[in-house]
Structure 1
Amino acid sequence: MMKCYDCMEDGNDTEATCVCIACGKGLCSDHCKELELPVTVGQPPNVQRLPKGLPRILCKYCFDQTIEDGFD
């Protein structure tokens, strides 16, 4: 099983539950952040934003380096 990279740095042995989409680190649920990527459908000028976006998982470091406004 894959182990959480951030937990290993802290000296803990925790199984990873997800992978950061930016850097590929295995992460446990305590060390990940979820962003919702907006989804739109249609062709201009009739473009609609869907009410629910696609979930994207990032580690805290990559999350801090990401411009959050692009995901809101």
Structure 2
Amino acid sequence: MKHSRRTGDIMLRCYECALKDETEEAVAICIMCGKGICMEHAHRIDLPIWEGGYPTPVKVMKKGLPRFVCSDCGNILVPGACE
């Protein structure tokens, strides 16, 4: 196992970098598939938040909920967002 350069703790590696035999520390986890992702491969997507009563939401709030996703999942959520 690779140890972190900063703390000596075991680090989570970026999945995409590991496929290319590179070692880069993950800074986020994709909320959809669970891959570890580094700064280069992490994409922030603001998911809409609905406001209103059950069973039908009335409106979308102005500010979305920020979430990190990998390129594959980001393009599924918002086609072309992670090119």
Instruction: Judge same fold: TM > 0.5, yes or no.
Output: yes
Give per-residue Cα distances to partners, 1:10-61, cap 9 Å, x unaligned: 1211110001111111000111222111112223898332221111221111
Root mean square deviation, CA, Å:
2.2
**Does residue 54 in structure 1 map to residue 65 in structure 2?**
yes
Higher relative strand content = 1
Q: Structure 1 vs Structure 2: percent identity of aligned residues? A: 37
**Number of equivalences:** 68
Give the residue type in structure 2 aligned to 1:10: K
Cα distance change of structure 1 residues 67 and 2 upon mapping to structure 2, 3 Å threshold: closer
Residue 6 of structure 1 pairs with residue 27 of structure 2: no
Larger Rg belongs to? 2
TM-score by length of 1: 0.76
Specify every segment of 5 or more residues in structure 2 that has no aligned partner in the other structure, as ranges. 1-10
Query: 1 or 2, which has the higher helix percentage?
Result: 1
Q: Distance in 1 between matches of 2:70 and 2:47?
A: 16
**Equivalent of residue 21 in structure 1, options 14, 31, 34:** 31
Which segments of structure 1 move beyond 2 Å, counting only runs of 4 or more? 42-49
